[in-house]
Structure 1
Amino acid sequence: MADGATGETRPRTHTEKGLEYHLDRKSKYRRGCENKLVSLSEDIEELLTTSTDVNEVKELYKKWLKVYDELLFTHESLQGLLKLSTGSGESDDKEFQDRNSRFHKVKDSVEQWAVSGTLIRAIVIVTSTVLWKSQIRFSLGNELVGKAV
Structure 2
Amino acid sequence: MPTTDLLVARGKKLAVGAGALTAAAALGATLLAAAPAHAAPEPAKPFGVVTAKTGLSQRQYPSTDSSVRGHLHHRAQVGLVCKVRTQSVGGNAVWYLTREERATWVSARYVTSNGPVRFCKDVQRGRLLPPSAAKHTVG
TM-score by length of 2: 0.24
Which structure has the bigger radius of gyration?
2
Higher helix share: 1
- Higher relative strand content: 2
How does the TM-score come out when normalised to structure 1?
Answer: 0.23
